[in-house]
Chains A and B, each alone.
Chain A
Amino acid sequence: MTLDDKKRVLREMVLHRRFEERCYQAYIERKIGGFLHLYPGQEACCNGVMEAARPGHDYVITGYRDHVHAIKCGTDPKVVMAELYGKETGCSKGRGGSMHIFDVAHRFMGGYALVGGPFPLAAGIAKGIQLKGGDEIAICFLGDAANNQGVFHETLNMAKVWNLPVLFVCENNQYGIGTAIHRSTAVLDQFKRACAYNIEAAQCDGQDIDVVYAHAKTAVDYVRSGKGPYFLELMTYRYRGHSMSDSRGYRSREEEEEWKQRDPLNILRDRLISAGALTMDEFTQIEKSTDDYIESEVIKFAEESPEPNVTDLEKYVLA
């Protein structure tokens, strides 16, 4: 990544952070309903991987913590927010909500609420790519706890047998809701599990975007060149609770503070400042204009959009 790239990515990461924090606010105001799983702390994961891949061209699929992944693929933040508001203008027409963001035009193949559900779907998308002969790859982002589902193992096996162009990205934030990874998982290093299926795998820091990017580049190039599946584990942390009702009683505030010392936005910001490519004032300005944009465009659009018509209740059930 050039310095310009990095500056652009920092801007995007600020948008991702502020978007999510604004969702938190909107949830408190009861504008957003249902379950809401936020992404702050993990921004370098999605951004680092997708910078190495081709957003909007490669297929992406993920779980319920999905807003940022969609936006990174090119989905307009306005239609993501409108979806969270349950509006007809939302990317899933108000039918999906936070856990079911979809934007097929940008090859964001969806957020799914069932843990592990996307694994085989990702392999299936990769199979589709293989049959159709494109140069795209399928990228599946999921959490560490999802790897304990049976479909994880079934999928990795098939992906290797058929050499499918799929990149599994494990965002290892060390928790599945309130259960710490060491209490639920026999092998703490997730990338080692992929080795059992003879799949190329690596683990790296998920807070430093340069590190994520470098590893993701290797992984993406590997998959795109037709060598088969790849498993990349990113060590990261979510700042907020699992969802909105989570008071985080299962972990210490010291642990949280420690992780915040290695905040992905700050790491990139400070690096750009020491390279002379950014000033602190400029950064503050980015934050401010991002907030303005979110308020004056994103929230405004969501607020002013119409709700779906009740007469359309059965509209998308069958083709």
Chain B
Amino acid sequence: MAEIMYWEAIQRAHDEEMARDPLVICMGEDIGVAGGTYKATKGLYEKYGEKRVMDTPISEGGYTGLGIGASFLGIRPIIEIMSVNFAWLAMDQMFNSAAKVRYMSGGQLTAPCVFRSAGGTAHQLGAQHSARMEKVFMGIAGLRVVTPSNPKQAYGLLKSAIRSDDPVFINEHELMYNMKGEVPDEEYFHPLEGSEIARSGNDVTLFGYNISVHWCLKAAEILDKQYGISAEVVDLYSLAPLDRAGIKKSVCKTHRAVIAEEDEAPVGVGSEVIAILNEECFFDLDAAPVRVHSALVPQPYNHKLEMAAIPDHEDVVNAVLKLFGKA
């Protein structure tokens, strides 16, 4: 197994799938000649040409809809939206067309397209470039949402998403493209549904996804070393559908739960996980589950304010300590 970067893993998945199937294409702003803002499509333009690697105009609603239309004919477009902030402009097509077409056509049409987009707070990009929108995408019937937390998932989830007959939204994170991790040398498909135990433990379950998995892992180490609390970390790489059974299983073992998300709290992953816990294992809980999340503010530019607006591993540690009456 080689260690590669998150962006390289995504690039490799593109490359393998495009080499295999001439109907796989990719499209987005600056993804071709310029190689992509986060290099996820580096070298593909040279290899597959401009018919299959499309530099689109800046018209997110237009090109996303165009990709969806092509997918009606069995084309497998990977549609990159440079930043989720710009995905707002594409949501009408994603939600009203891609997500609904299978149902409203009684199964005649499907939109097997992949939407890839980077979200999250990076370094001082200000309010209009720091959105996280998991909560918006995960509530749409007909759309799958996955959110890789490491290169292996980034590679395997994209491969599976391309082969899937459903529209899949892949939520990446701007700060993770240079993260390194092991990816199998042989071809690998990550399941689009489910969750993964990133670290096993007995006293509390820490739920994370994407970047917050890493806060949870770091918090778990601190909790173990400094407080003797054994935390299990569950990686919710699939946000739609959420892994009800996996969520239940871990909390029935540990009896306590903390959900960490970079998104703001209202109607988010945290509220959904807590609803599931209420429905599935209320009597197994020793304490009320807790959410760790961002402040409900447009992301500030100033660095200190920005850091104050988003959580990190320390917030996860503190939330756990509170659960145990230690803070």
Q: Is the CB of A96 within 8 A of B301?
A: yes
CA distance A97 to B129 in the complex (A): 11
Q: Is the CB of A145 within 8 A of B30?
A: no
Query: Is A275 part of the contact surface with B, judged by Cβ < 8 Å?
Result: no
**Which residues from chain A contact B308 at a C-beta distance below 8 Å?**
310, 313
**Which residues from chain A contact B123 at a C-beta distance below 8 Å?**
33-34
Query: Is A133 part of the contact surface with B, judged by Cβ < 8 Å?
Result: no
Q: Is the CB of A149 within 8 A of B33?
A: no
Query: Is B229 part of the contact surface with A, judged by Cβ < 8 Å?
Result: no
CA distance A95 to B130 in the complex (A): 13
Q: Is the CB of B33 within 8 A of A150?
A: no
Residues of B in contact, count (CB < 8 Å): 35
Q: Is the CB of A310 within 8 A of B58?
A: no
CA distance A116 to B303 in the complex (A): 27
Query: Is A35 part of the contact surface with B, judged by Cβ < 8 Å?
Result: yes
B56's closest neighbor in chain A, by CB? A184
Residues of A in contact, count (CB < 8 Å): 41
Query: Is B200 part of the contact surface with A, judged by Cβ < 8 Å?
Result: no
Q: Is the CB of A115 within 8 A of B58?
A: yes
Q: Is the CB of A317 within 8 A of B58?
A: no
Q: Is the CB of A317 within 8 A of B297?
A: yes
CA distance A99 to B299 in the complex (A): 13
CA distance A115 to B90 in the complex (A): 13
A85's closest neighbor in chain B, by CB? B302
Q: Which of A185, A249, A314 contacts B295 (CB 8 A)?
A: A314
Q: Which of B33, B56, B126 contacts A34 (CB 8 A)?
A: B126
User: With A86-B124, A97-B126, A249-B34 as given contacts, are A34 and B301 in contact (CB-CB < 8 Å)?
Assistant: yes
Q: Is the CB of B309 within 8 A of A313?
A: yes
**Which residues from chain A contact B295 at a C-beta distance below 8 Å?**
313-314
CA distance A35 to B57 in the complex (A): 21
Query: Is A177 part of the contact surface with B, judged by Cβ < 8 Å?
Result: yes
**Which residues from chain B contact A112 at a C-beta distance below 8 Å?**
128
**Which residues from chain A contact B296 at a C-beta distance below 8 Å?**
314, 317
**Which residues from chain B contact A177 at a C-beta distance below 8 Å?**
29-30, 34, 37
Q: Is the CB of B302 within 8 A of A308?
A: yes
Contact with B along A168-205 (1 / 0, CB 8 A): 00000000111100011100000000000000000000
Q: Is the CB of B301 within 8 A of A97?
A: yes
B:41-68 near A, CB below 8 Å? 55-62
- Chain B nearest CB: distance from A34 CB in Å? 4
CA distance A313 to B29 in the complex (A): 33
Known: A33-B123, A33-B301, A92-B301. 19 other contacts (CB 8 A): A34-B129, A83-B301, A95-B300, A95-B302, A95-B305, A96-B127, A97-B302, A149-B58, A150-B62, A176-B29, A176-B58, A177-B29, A177-B34, A178-B34, A179-B34, A184-B58, A308-B304, A312-B305, A313-B295
When A and B form their complex, which 10 residue pairs have the shortest distance between CB atoms, in order from nearest?
A97-B301, A178-B34, A33-B124, A113-B128, A148-B57, A34-B124, A86-B302, A94-B302, A184-B57, A97-B126
